[in-house]
Amino acid sequence: EVQLLESGGDLAQPGESLRLSCVASGFAFGTYAMSWVRQAPGKGLEWLSAISGDTTGIYYADSVKGRFTISRDNSKDTLYLQMNSLRADDTAIYYCVKYKGNPPFFDVWGQGTMVTVSS
């Protein structure tokens, strides 16, 4: 069974940093592009960042470019999101998502991890 398990969500103060992790299982992690998507409380879905399987392609939404960094360790089947200079509007559930197909769409989502930014 394909599974994505996020962790690292926490309460942070404005300006602080957090690193989210997503451990994948049930598929050949290194051959698939992965992404992070967030959802603020009561709001819709916002794509944040994507990384190709071989890490040669990395993409960011304008809202997080320069503050967030996506990376992956294929030897550990793990995706990361380093979040710096956190702001109150970064408060959201953060989902790890697997791409499928060409062009790629999302076929598997993790359960999400909650990030709260508040003083």
Site residues (CB under 8 A) for other proteins? 33, 35, 44-47, 50, 52, 57, 59, 61, 95, 99-101, 103-112
Q: 15 or 40, CB closer to other proteins?
A: 40
Q: Which two tokens stand for residue 26?
A: 């049930």
| Minimum distance of other proteins from residue 9's CB (angstroms) | 14
| Minimum distance of other proteins from residue 79's CB (angstroms) | 14
| Minimum distance of other proteins from residue 97's CB (angstroms) | 9
Beta strand 11-12 with 18-25: parallel, antiparallel or unpaired?
unpaired
Q: 7 or 17, CB closer to other proteins?
A: 7
d(CA 84, CA 67): 5
The DSSP code sequence of 32-62 is S-EEEEEE-TT--EEEEEEE-TTSS-EEE-T
Q: 58 or 88, CB closer to other proteins?
A: 58
Instruction: Note the maximum CA span of the chain.
Output: 43
Beta strand 113-117 with 11-12: parallel, antiparallel or unpaired?
parallel
| Minimum distance of other proteins from residue 56's CB (angstroms) | 12
Q: 75 or 102, CB closer to other proteins?
A: 102
Beta strand 68-73 with 58-60: parallel, antiparallel or unpaired?
unpaired
